[in-house]
Homo-oligomer: A and B are copies of this chain.
């Protein structure tokens, strides 16, 4: 396109953004208008994308990190012929694919955006996939706002992209000077951004974001940079093209006051259709150790993993079983990738590294980038397992939440769960992780108590949809299951059971072993109890719990987790379906732990065998007493 045509295209994008927001009665047209010239040049001259085949691995990817500029994105799709004008005007309406912020309900959107500062870290995941795993010559274009450069997650990504020499990653910063409630820190000081990015090793290009010729040259320069990521830093004006809103405060996130006049001022509707350049013919997909040969989302020749087998009666830490099982899974499936945040020796993810170094990604201590990397990788068809301490997954909570909005399939593994870690103290103890992961939409939450169970669950996770979480423990626990035992997702195991059971103890992870010891002591005291291993915290085994509740009349949950949001709540939820429920009671970690041995911790928190037995006796006495 000639530059005059690009300018016209940009005006069309502005007009369509104004029209979409006006039809919706809400939305962010001014944030769209600032980036319209950048988007027009990108679409017409630089993006290589086959809109009829969004899964084509050779396609460039386009991430609108400033997701509130969705009117611009949808106007681009219209210009590319992917959506029609009628659909454009369904923006933000019920049942429309054109949501307030983009989600993968649209086939050309890989990941949801709208929580700022996430597009670049997710783009890093896609760029890692493209450069090192898929080995395709595509580019990952990320459009970012200037305000969101304040998010630390952006700088985790900036650092990692440089370290990994991600020259396929192209960031475009729409420096429109105005945030939601006023000026940004750096306003139109492009150099402030450039200096920071260059110090991290990026190539930078500063440009007038409304000069399409200059933008075209900048994007050409960006596309050609080798060996390092590039940022095009563009000075723009929010609301560009309409005097009533251009570069003015107080115009964020609302339709233009007079859309008709604005459209007139922008020169009226246009009907330019862009023929977007398709990618070069896709090269054969890189074949990994055992063959990640499928198209995105399809796995080639996967074989059943030769999972590690542990001898019942011995002891092993579930984190160790996780590491060994993951290594085995990696041998069976070429699409499994392991991600570490500089604790691979503790989480045992390092066992995977030893066998599959080319599918092991080190993100250093940057948990937001860790999870964002997983989201980016799964968007390219890989099956990521991202691990850190359970406590530190809270650092990435917003990324996990947004991963669910992205309909992402990722595996998260949190080690060092609970007070059972002992001396390191509360900063290192995962005590809120079950609550966090249970509340995530469509999640699966697993918490094994022995090594064989862990291995089976690690393999099963890969087959699930959505966010899958596995909680592992630091210390060794007895192996109580055989290596061929099966553990269906949503199931549980009844470990003690008899006709005269007077109560049910529901436990998971380390407390299973405490519960078994308590049950033995209680049986010796003439109080037989049922014990349920609730390894699947979500979904929860309502049937087994129901049976146990009916048979024994009372259910005691015991967990190495805060009393809120974890196993106690999960069991209570199972009984919250309107029918009469058994009597419920719960043990959990109420106080603030300090340093002590694991045994001392369990006792002090009242979740060891002795405390469990005492609680059961109280419960059982109440049956008799009143």
Taking Cβ atoms with an 8 Å cutoff, the residues of A that contact B are 24, 26-27, 67, 92-96, 98-101, 103, 105, 112-117, 147-148, 150-156, 159, 163, 179-181, 184-185, 195-196, 198-200, 340, 342-346, 350, 364-369, 391-392, 394-395, 397-398, 401-402, 404-405, 407, 422-428, 431-432, 435-436, 438-442, 538, 554, 557, 562-566, 568-570, 572-573, 575-581, 583-586, 591-592, 594-597, 600, 604, 618-619, 622
Kindly list chain B residues whose C-beta atoms are within 8 Å of the C-beta of A554: 578
Verify B94–A618 contact, CB threshold 8 A. Answer: no
Query: Which one of B114, B185, B394, B564 contacts A425 once the chains associate, using CB atoms below 8 Å?
Result: B114
Query: Which one of B152, B422, B557 contacts A152 once the chains associate, using CB atoms below 8 Å?
Result: B152
Verify B578–A619 contact, CB threshold 8 A. Answer: yes
Verify A405–B423 contact, CB threshold 8 A. Answer: no
Query: Which one of B95, B366, B568, B618 contacts A578 once the chains associate, using CB atoms below 8 Å?
Result: B618
Kindly list chain B residues whose C-beta atoms are within 8 Å of the C-beta of A156: 150-152, 155
Query: Which one of B99, B432, B575 contacts A595 once the chains associate, using CB atoms below 8 Å?
Result: B99
A592 to chain B, nearest CB (A): 6
Verify A432–B401 contact, CB threshold 8 A. Answer: yes
Most buried by B among A152, A181, A394, A619: A152
Verify B199–A185 contact, CB threshold 8 A. Answer: no
Verify A395–B398 contact, CB threshold 8 A. Answer: yes
CB closest residue in chain B, given A561: B439
A357 to chain B, nearest CB (A): 13
Kindly list chain B residues whose C-beta atoms are within 8 Å of the C-beta of A391: 115, 398, 401
Verify A576–B586 contact, CB threshold 8 A. Answer: yes
CB closest residue in chain B, given A436: B436
Verify B435–A99 contact, CB threshold 8 A. Answer: no
A391 to chain B, nearest CB (A): 7
Complex Cα distance, B115 from A94, in Å, reads 42
Can you list the 8 inter-chain pairs with the closest CB atoms, starting with the nearest?
A152-B152, A114-B427, A572-B572, A199-B199, A435-B439, A155-B155, A94-B596, A397-B397
Query: Which one of B116, B344, B422, B424 contacts A181 once the chains associate, using CB atoms below 8 Å?
Result: B344
Known: A147-B364, A392-B398, A435-B435. 7 other contacts (CB 8 A): A114-B428, A179-B342, A181-B346, A404-B592, A432-B440, A569-B572, A577-B585
Complex Cα distance, B569 from A344, in Å, reads 35
Verify A583–B578 contact, CB threshold 8 A. Answer: yes
Given contact pairs A148-B365, A181-B343, A435-B439, A99 touches B572 in the complex (Cβ within 8 A): no
Complex Cα distance, B566 from A439, in Å, reads 9
Most buried by B among A195, A439, A563, A575: A439
A368 to chain B, nearest CB (A): 6
Given contact pairs A151-B366, A152-B366, A436-B397, A568 touches B576 in the complex (Cβ within 8 A): yes
Query: Which one of B199, B200, B580 contacts A198 once the chains associate, using CB atoms below 8 Å?
Result: B199
Kindly list chain B residues whose C-beta atoms are within 8 Å of the C-beta of A100: 423-425, 428, 595
Q: Give 25 pairs: A residue, B residue, CB < 8 Å, sorted on A.
A: A27-B423, A95-B596, A96-B594, A96-B595, A99-B594, A100-B424, A101-B425, A115-B391, A115-B427, A150-B342, A152-B368, A155-B155, A180-B342, A180-B345, A181-B344, A181-B346, A185-B364, A397-B432, A404-B592, A438-B565, A439-B562, A441-B562, A565-B569, A569-B569, A573-B586
CB closest residue in chain B, given A67: B427
A301 to chain B, nearest CB (A): 32
CB closest residue in chain B, given A157: B152
CB closest residue in chain B, given A586: B576
Verify A184–B427 contact, CB threshold 8 A. Answer: no
Verify B425–A99 contact, CB threshold 8 A. Answer: yes
Kindly list chain B residues whose C-beta atoms are within 8 Å of the C-beta of A365: 116-117, 147-148, 150-151, 179
Verify A597–B94 contact, CB threshold 8 A. Answer: yes
A366 to chain B, nearest CB (A): 5
CB closest residue in chain B, given A117: B365
Complex Cα distance, B439 from A114, in Å, reads 26
Given contact pairs A401-B391, A595-B93, A345 touches B181 in the complex (Cβ within 8 A): yes
Verify A424–B101 contact, CB threshold 8 A. Answer: yes
Complex Cα distance, B596 from A95, in Å, reads 8
A413 to chain B, nearest CB (A): 16
A399 to chain B, nearest CB (A): 9
Verify A564–B438 contact, CB threshold 8 A. Answer: yes
Complex Cα distance, B400 from A395, in Å, reads 10
Verify A394–B392 contact, CB threshold 8 A. Answer: no
Verify A350–B181 contact, CB threshold 8 A. Answer: yes
Verify B578–A573 contact, CB threshold 8 A. Answer: no
